[in-house]
Amino acid sequence: MRKGSSHPTLLEVARLAGVGVGTASRAVNGGTNVSASTMRKVKSAIQQLGYMPNHAARVLKGGRAKTVGLLVPSISDYFFASCAEAAGRIAKAHDSLLIVAVTMNLSGAEISSLDVLMRHRPDGLLIVPSDPDNKELARCVRNSAVPVVTFDRPLFGSGCSSVITDNFEAARNATLHLIEHGYKRILCFSSEPDLYTIRERLRGYCQAMEEAGLPSLIDTSLDDTTLVSRLLAGHLKGRRPPDAVFTLKNSSTSAVVQALHQLRVSIPSRLALLGFDDFELAATLHPSISVVQQPIEDLGRKAAELLFEQLESHHGIKGFRKMKREPVVLANRLVLRRSCGCKEELARKDL
Amino acid sequence: MRKGSSHPTLLEVARLAGVGVGTASRAVNGGTNVSASTMRKVKSAIQQLGYMPNHAARVLKGGRAKTVGLLVPSISDYFFASCAEAAGRIAKAHDSLLIVAVTMNLSGAEISSLDVLMRHRPDGLLIVPSDPDNKELARCVRNSAVPVVTFDRPLFGSGCSSVITDNFEAARNATLHLIEHGYKRILCFSSEPDLYTIRERLRGYCQAMEEAGLPSLIDTSLDDTTLVSRLLAGHLKGRRPPDAVFTLKNSSTSAVVQALHQLRVSIPSRLALLGFDDFELAATLHPSISVVQQPIEDLGRKAAELLFEQLESHHGIKGFRKMKREPVVLANRLVLRRSCGCKEELARKDL
DNA sequence: ACGCGAATTGGAAACGTTTCCAATCATGTT
DNA sequence: AACATGATTGGAAACGTTTCCAATTCGCGT
pLDDT in tens, chain A (351 residues): 333 457 899 999 999 999 999 999 999 987 788 899 999 999 999 999 989 899 899 999 988 888 999 999 999 888 999 999 999 999 989 988 999 999 876 777 898 888 888 888 899 999 999 999 999 999 988 878 889 999 999 999 998 999 999 999 999 999 999 999 999 999 999 999 999 999 999 999 999 999 999 999 999 988 888 888 888 999 999 899 999 999 999 889 988 988 888 888 998 999 999 999 998 788 877 788 999 999 999 999 999 999 999 988 755 444 444 455 789 999 999 999 999 999 866 556 666
Specify whether B185 is located in the same domain as B289: yes
Q: What is the pLDDT confidence band of residue B335, given thresholds at 50, 70 and 90?
A: very high
Specify whether A77 is located in the same domain as A216: no
- Please, how many CA atoms are within 13 Å of residue B209, restricted to the half-sphere of its CB? 21
Residue-level pLDDT at B63:
80
Specify whether A279 is located in the same domain as A317: no
Query: Closest nucleotide (CA of B29 to C1')?
Result: D18
Residue-level pLDDT at B5:
54
Contact flag, residue A63 CB and nucleic strand D, below 7 A: no
CATH number, residue B37: 1.10.260.40
CATH number, residue A191: 3.40.50.2300
Residue-level pLDDT at A333:
93
**Whole-number Å distance between alpha carbons of B329 and B303:** 11
Instruction: Select the residue of A67, A82, A280 nearest B254 (Cβ to Cβ).
Output: A280
Degrees, nearest 5: CA angle B65-A137-B44: 65
Specify whether B173 is located in the same domain as B193: yes
Sheet order of strands, B348-350 included = B217-219, B186-189, B244-247, B272-276, B290-293, B333-335, B348-350
Residue-level pLDDT at B318:
46
The single-letter code of the amino acid at B103 is T
Specify whether A221 is located in the same domain as A340: yes
Which bases on strand D have an atom closer than 7 Å to a protein beta carbon? 7-21
Tally of structural domains, chain B = 3
Specify whether A105 is located in the same domain as A39: no
Residue-level pLDDT at A4:
47
pLDDT tens digits, residue range B74-110? 998 889 999 999 999 999 898 888 999 998 777 778 9
A54 chain-B contacts, CB cut-off 8 A: 60, 121
Specify whether A257 is located in the same domain as A338: yes
Average pLDDT over residues B286-300: 93
Q: What is the pLDDT confidence band of residue B143, given thresholds at 50, 70 and 90?
A: confident
A84 chain-B contacts, CB cut-off 8 A: 75-76
- Please, how many CA atoms are within 13 Å of residue B310, restricted to the half-sphere of its CB? 27
B176 part of a folded domain: yes
Cα separations in angstroms, A307 against A120, A163, B52, B226, B264:
17, 11, 23, 39, 48
pLDDT tens digits, residue range A246-259? 999 988 998 898 88
A58 part of a folded domain: no
Task: Decide: helix, strand or coil at residue B129.
Answer: coil
Residue-level pLDDT at B347:
54
Degrees, nearest 5: CA angle A158-A161-A167: 100
Domain limits for position B273: 167-295+333-350
B185 part of a folded domain: yes
Q: Which of A200, A182, A180 is nearest to A190 (CA)?
A: A200
Specify whether B92 is located in the same domain as B197: no
Instruction: Select the residue of B60, B78, B254 nearest A284 (Cβ to Cβ).
Output: B254
Q: Which of B62, B126, B128 is nearest to B89 (CA)?
A: B126
Instruction: Select the residue of A53, A118, A280 nearest B52 (Cβ to Cβ).
Output: A118
CA–C1' gap, B45 and D13, in angstroms: 29
A60 part of a folded domain: no
Contact flag, residue A19 CB and nucleic strand D, below 7 A: yes
Specify whether B182 is located in the same domain as B253: yes
Between chain A and chain B, the number of residue pairs with CB atoms below 8 A apart is 146
> To the nearest whole percent, how much of chain B has pLDDT over 90?
60
Q: How many Cβ atoms sit within 10 Å of the Cβ of residue B57?
A: 16
pLDDT at residue B167 above 90?
A: yes
A120, A253, A257: which to substitute to probe chain B, counting the most B Cβ within 10 Å? Answer: A120
Specify whether A226 is located in the same domain as A337: yes
CA B186 to chain centre: 29
A97 part of a folded domain: yes
Q: Which of B300, B299, B294 is nearest to B249 (CA)?
A: B294
Q: What is the pLDDT confidence band of residue B324, given thresholds at 50, 70 and 90?
A: low
B25 part of a folded domain: yes
Residue-level pLDDT at A324:
55
A111 part of a folded domain: yes
Please state, rounded to an integer, the average pLDDT across all residues of chain B. Answer: 88
pLDDT tens digits, residue range B41-81? 999 999 999 898 998 999 999 888 889 999 999 998 889 99
Q: Which of A122, A321, A142, A157 is nearest to B5 (CA)?
A: A142
Q: Determine the longest span between alpha carbons in chain B, in angstroms.
A: 91
Q: How many Cβ atoms sit within 10 Å of the Cβ of residue B106?
A: 12
Which secondary-structure segment (H or E) carries A95? none
Specify whether B22 is located in the same domain as B88: no
Higher per-residue confidence, B344 vs A33: A33
Residue-level pLDDT at A1:
38
B154 part of a folded domain: yes
A46-64: string of b/e by CB count within 10 Å (b at 16+)? beebebebbbbbbbbeeee
pLDDT at residue B349 above 70?
A: no
Specify whether B343 is located in the same domain as B228: yes
A116/B97 Cβ within 8 A? yes
